[in-house]
Amino acid sequence: MTATSANSSAQLLQGLRAIVGDKACMEAADDMQPFTTDYRKLYHGKALAVVLPATTQQVSEVMALCFRHGVPVVPQGGNTSLMGGAVPDAAGDAVVLNLRRMNQVQEIDVVNDTMTLSAGVTLQAARAAAQEAGRLFPLRIGSEGSCQIGGNLSTNAGGTAVLRYGNMRDLTLGIEAVLPDGRIYSSLRGLRKDNTGYDLKQLFIGSEGTLGIITAAVLKLMPLPGATAAAWIAVRDPHAAVELLTEAKRVAGQAVTAFELISGPALTLVLESMPQLSAPLPETHDWMVLIELTSGGDAEGLDAMLMGILEQGLERGLVTDAAIAASLADTRAFWQLREEISDAQTRTGGSIKCDISIPLSKIADFIAEASAQVLALAPDARMVIYGHMGDGNVHFNPLRPKDMAAAEFLAQNYARVSHAVDGLATRQNGSISAEHGIGVAKRDDLLECKSPVELELMWQIKRALDPGNLLNPGKVLPGAKGLV
Ligand code: 2HG
Ligand code: ZN
């Protein structure tokens, strides 16, 4: 390090401490480690400092200071990204800006059915605040206790209730975001209609912190469901699951809130890694579905609809067995089995993450073809395939065989397996990232699935908002760090 750059770093650190306070500015590698490594411990970066601002004004001042020094900033929420999108790279020249201290529920307007939150509120706290006000905030993902609203927005999070309520883009009426030079953009107005030009908030949503740092949002609230009916259903195969979904929508319409597909190996993995949980059905099955119906009231009507769907399924040979939840505890137990699939893979190590969306009409063929291709490359892989079939999203995660080390499995297979699965999805007009974002993990794969025009437009927008490439550099946009 030259004397000038050492002076400049010292000045920057002093400036950061002056803005956020000494306690909210970390510089020691040990203190920074939880912020520079992702939660699956796959991405290990370094940082100049980690700052924890408490207000939008402080975020703005931090950004303005870093902008003057030409220092990159990596925004971070709950650090639950599966794509390495929220941690710095190994260069050690960036400041990590974590929003967890900005955890205020600013306002709940039950007449307008909106809630205004600072970005660091966890999803769990957001849902609890809505519930306390007699409303539902419907985003539902397994990591709700750790992930934060800012991260949910910046990745356009989806989860298990998208079929009914949409993803984060659909649930947002306005945001506040700090630009790379410290200016503050705000559309926190809570309007359901506003056609006054470009919908700028949508640029920031899903851009993974590469265009601005989301610091607050106005989100839509829904009525709390009064009745729930759920079943864990063994189906003949994914084709049968799609037919059953069509039948469920015909019978129950909007009440179909979740429709999750689960492969046999995915359930087995959870049961093996958490022996305290029990299987919902007496026998093992290759394919299962977790269906949930909700409505404002009329529990009996909902139960009757569920029975009707199952009867039709049995009659048409789509369904081979089913367990119906007899209580809320049963429903929770079904969901626990489903939601543990991701962490069970993390504990086992060696899973290849593909997060595909594909039109429902093609999804069953896609699963069959992708499985055949994967098994030709890695014959002993455990086919952990599951996800939000109701909205056309399947997590296609081949996992190492029990007798093979994770590193060996990944070294041999990661590139070729993900290339095969993502390539098939791209050729069928699907997406290689339905809901997990791009981060660094899938960044270069965009070259193969986006057209030159799309990539050019993405870079033009990036240059317009972040001409110095200082915000979350190296994420999302393929091309060298210095390409700007
Ligand atoms: C889920 O649906 C999450 O459980 C995580 O999106 C999926 O780990 C995964 O691939
Ligand atoms: Zn998911």
The two tokens of residue 351 are 């899973």
Claim to verify: residue 339 and residue 230 sit in the same structural domain? yes
Percent of the residues in the chain that have a pLDDT greater than 90, as a whole number: 96
Amino acid 155 reads T
Q: Identify which of 152, 220, 216 has the alpha carbon closest to the alpha carbon of residue 184.
A: 216
CATH number at residue 110: 3.30.465.10
Task: Enter the pTM of the model.
Answer: 0.96
Claim to verify: residue 25 and residue 47 sit in the same structural domain? yes
482 domain-assigned: no
The two tokens of residue 72 are 């990159």
Ligand 1 neighbour 395 (Cβ under 6 A): yes
Ligand 1 neighbour 83 (Cβ under 6 A): no
422 domain-assigned: yes
CA 255 to CA 28: how far, in whole Å? 52
DSSP 388-402: -GGGTEEEEEEE--T
- pLDDT higher than 70, residue 264: yes
Q: Identify which of 288, 289, 393, 410 has the alpha carbon closest to the alpha carbon of residue 348.
A: 410
Spell out the alpha helix ranges (H) of 316-359.
328-348
- pLDDT higher than 50, residue 126: yes
Q: Which atom of ligand 1 is nearest to the CA of 338?
A: 4
Which element (helix H / strand E) includes 94?
none
Ligand 1 neighbour 81 (Cβ under 6 A): no
CA 457 to CA 459: how far, in whole Å? 5
Claim to verify: residue 317 and residue 282 sit in the same structural domain? yes
CA 131 to CA 464: how far, in whole Å? 40
Q: How many separate domains does the chain show?
A: 4
Ligand 1 atom 7, closest CA: 342
Claim to verify: residue 229 and residue 340 sit in the same structural domain? yes
pLDDT band at residue 6, thresholds of 50, 70 and 90?
A: confident
> Best of 339, 340, 395 to mutate for ligand 1, by most ligand atoms within 8 A of CB?
395
The domain boundary residue, chosen from 223, 255, 271? 223
Which element (helix H / strand E) includes 225?
none
CA 419 to CA 375: how far, in whole Å? 14
Claim to verify: residue 92 and residue 144 sit in the same structural domain? no
463 domain-assigned: no
Rounded to an integer, the average pLDDT of 394-418 is: 97
Reported ipTM: 0.99
CA 436 to CA 247: how far, in whole Å? 29
Centre of ligand 2 to C-alpha 254, Å, is: 21
Claim to verify: residue 209 and residue 142 sit in the same structural domain? yes
Centre of ligand 2 to C-alpha 394, Å, is: 8
Ligand 1 atom 6, closest CA: 159
Do 75 and 97 form a contact (C-beta atoms < 8 A)?
A: yes
Claim to verify: residue 145 and residue 231 sit in the same structural domain? no
- pLDDT higher than 90, residue 98: yes
Claim to verify: residue 286 and residue 382 sit in the same structural domain? no
Can you name the residues that pair with 323 across neighbouring β-strands? Answer: 232
29 domain-assigned: yes
- pLDDT higher than 50, residue 481: no
Residue 267, domain extent: 225-344
Amino acid 345 reads Q
> Nearest bound ligand to CA 143?
1
CATH number at residue 65: 3.30.43.10
301 domain-assigned: yes
The domain boundary residue, chosen from 52, 77, 98? 98
The domain boundary residue, chosen from 98, 122, 138? 98
460 domain-assigned: no
pLDDT value of position 99? 98
Ligand 1 atom 8, closest CA: 342
- pLDDT higher than 70, residue 418: yes
Claim to verify: residue 364 and residue 434 sit in the same structural domain? yes
Ligand 1 atom 1, closest CA: 342
End-to-end CA distance of the chain: 25
162 domain-assigned: yes
Q: What is the pLDDT of residues 168-206, one digit of tens each?
A: 999 999 999 999 999 999 999 999 999 999 999 999 999
DSSP-derived 3-state class of residue 54: coil
Claim to verify: residue 231 and residue 152 sit in the same structural domain? no
Claim to verify: residue 26 and residue 109 sit in the same structural domain? no
CA 27 to CA 42: how far, in whole Å? 22
Q: What is the pLDDT of residues 141-152, one digit of tens each?
A: 999 999 999 999
Can you name the residues that pair with 360 across neighbouring β-strands? Answer: none
Q: What is the pLDDT of residues 52-88, one digit of tens each?
A: 999 999 999 999 999 999 999 999 999 999 999 999 9
Ligand 1 atom 3, closest CA: 342
Distances from the Cα of 243 to the Cα of 123, 250, 262, 361, 429, angstroms: 33, 11, 16, 10, 21
Do 86 and 74 form a contact (C-beta atoms < 8 A)?
A: yes
- pLDDT higher than 90, residue 214: yes
Ligand 1 neighbour 82 (Cβ under 6 A): yes
Centre of ligand 2 to C-alpha 387, Å, is: 6
Spell out the alpha helix ranges (H) of 172-298.
201-204, 238-252, 264-273
Claim to verify: residue 173 and residue 90 sit in the same structural domain? no
CATH number at residue 282: 3.30.70.2190
